[in-house]
Amino acid sequence: MIRNLIKKNFFLKDIYDLFLISIIRIIPIILNILIIKYFLTYHKSQVGEYIALITTATIICTFSNYGILNYILKFKDRNKSKILGLFIKIKIPMVFFLIFICSMVTIINYYFSETLNEGDLIYIFTFFLVIFLFGINNLNSFYFNAINKAKTAGLFRFLIIGLIFYILLTTTKNDFMLNYFYASIISVIISYIYILKSVNLKNIKINHKLRFYNFLISNKHKGLSSIFGGWMLYLPLVLATYIYNENEIFIFFFVTRILNLFFISGVVFQNKFIYQYSRYFVEKNFSKIKKFLIYRTKLIMVPLIPLSLGLIVFKEPIFNYFEIESLYSNLYFFTIILGILKLIIGPVIEYALFYDMKFYYKKMQYIMYFIYYSLCIMSILTLNISLAIYFISTLFILYYFVVALVLYLKMKKFIYNN
């Protein structure tokens, strides 16, 4: 009876923590909805530019990741000062890596996107700073996840930027790009202050043996998997901004936002338990991995049922709010089904990275990425927007099912052999 009571208290505490993390992650989604509605009402011509900006910034975040969180959490010793020292050693050259990536993205947008090719040098430089600061802000959030502060990580990664940007957008007459710059730099400054206050700098232990070039090479599989995995929905959306009109781009963006509601539920679980389950994979403790997956399956029903029912029941008000035509109803319900499937599957890519699959799996994964992106590009170029979204979304879920199946078979074989 006492054991059951303890389990119940842990369950309730986890639900409470998940609720707080969810609030932190959902508020930016609500802010994004309000921002899009603001543009649709007052500056409809800028919807495409705004979507292109935040989607590009999100893709930059995948470069700032480069598997760094997975790399840090593979160590069993996670002393806060040691993690910060390792984080600093990796981050310094990562900043230069981000500068290079952001420069390439800015040049590409200048020549191929209407977002920049009509702007002056100040506008172009502001675009560069926005995506660069977005990447730095994302990079800082990994430190908080690495020291088991999921709520703080979510706060600095999404909420502060979105809140400041929305306030500036609705209260000033500045260009939205300039407002995003102010929001990004304020968030970065606050995160640095918080990091420096959270540790004693005298106790920081920097790993002098770590060389960034060696890190790039030794961590290339985790890094490339993090980047390619993060691109799976955002890169097709960016490509669509070059081909389709503003209304079609918005539909694509709207679908990815619906999927993100389910993804965020999954990310909330990942952020809450990543500190623990990463240890299980590092230690190859498959009995605890199994218990964790069963426990996650029970908890996942808490957000899954109300989220799914809420989207179905309030479908008409949502469509009316965003002025979406009823012909996209089937696509809307199809997206909800895909979101449910993704939430049930869970963060299988992260599990696979922590598990450290052998070479043949890595080779198979890169082949799958090549097939996925090739088919995505073909569908965007040859199909209308609805069919392209159907096809890309189906490929997305199929990819995760394949990875989950391979991971399950490999873990089962390992358990049997031991």
Confidence band of 5 (pLDDT split at 50, 70, 90): very low
CA triple 151-81-148, angle to 5 deg: 20
Is residue 71 within 8 Å of 354, Cβ to Cβ?
A: no
CA–CA gap between residue 86 and residue 72 (Å, rounded): 8
Angle at 344 between CA 274 and CA 292, to 5 degrees: 40
Q: How confident is the model at residue 6 (pLDDT cuts 50, 70, 90)?
A: very low
**Could you tell me how many residues make up the chain?**
418
pLDDT digits (tens, 9 = 90+) for 143-176: 777 777 777 777 777 788 888 888 888 888 778 8
8 A C-beta contact, residue 60 and residue 102 = yes
Percent of the chain with pLDDT over 90: 0
Q: What is the pLDDT of residue 216?
A: 67
pLDDT (tens digit per residue) in 71-130? 776 666 666 677 777 777 777 777 887 888 888 888 877 777 666 656 677 888 888 888
The three-class DSSP label of residue 147 is coil
Question: pLDDT tens for residues 42-67?
Answer: 877 777 778 777 777 777 777 666 66
Residue type, position 21, single letter: I
What is the pLDDT, as a whole number, of residue 210? 58
Q: What is the mean pLDDT of the chain?
A: 76
The confidence score (pLDDT) of residue 416 equals: 47
The model's pTM is: 0.66
Q: What is the DSSP annotation of 353-403?
A: HHHT--HHHHHHHHHHHHHHHHHHHHHHHHS-HHHHHHHHHHHHHHHHHHH
